[in-house]
A = this chain, B = another copy of it.
Amino acid sequence: MNFNLQEAIEVLERTPGTLEQFLFGLSIDWLQCDEGEGTWNPMEVMAHLIEGEKYNWIPRLEHVLEVGESSPFPEFDRFSHLHKETETSLEKMFAQFKMLRTENLQRLKKLVQPSHLDLTGSHPAFGVVRIRELISTWVVHDLTHISQIVRVMAERYRNDVGPWQAYLGILK
């Protein structure tokens, strides 16, 4: 096990700035490319990350701290951002993601002491989970979606790289 609360926070606090550096100002063809029917483009991934800040990580953490395993925490709809109007600009999305993440990390630091990390709650699908697992998952969930955005963009040039395709791990 490698989890360390301070190190987890280091990654969580970098995600909004990293994605802003990477995506802000890119041409629309990069921002709206995807991997085909039913897959997400970089702007949809951003919308999903914002939904997670609102309805997933901190609400679940608070639920576990309040009621433990006595009732499962609420479902999080991983597709909720697709049912909402997303007319908002990337600039507004980054402002919102940064604000929510900053607030959520302040709440995390206030709510969770080292003695809480092994407290248990109940996941609606797979049962008993620990606070340390929830926070680790928040970190890896960020990494999953950074990786997804990068992969989706690489896919756009799959045929353009010609014979180099075989050398580029991300296209496998």
Contact = CB atoms under 8 A, between A and B. Distances in A.
Interface of A: 1-4, 6-7, 10-11, 14, 17-18, 20-22, 25-27, 29-30, 33, 123, 126-127, 129-130, 132-133, 136-137, 139-141, 143-144, 146-148, 150-151, 153-154, 156-157, 159-164, 167-171
Contacts of A146: 22, 146, 150
Contacts of A144: 154, 168-170
A168 B20 CA distance: 23
B163 A129 contact: yes
A33 B10 CA distance: 15
12 contacts: A2-B29, A4-B29, A14-B26, A17-B21, A123-B163, A129-B163, A137-B167, A140-B164, A143-B153, A143-B154, A144-B170, A147-B147
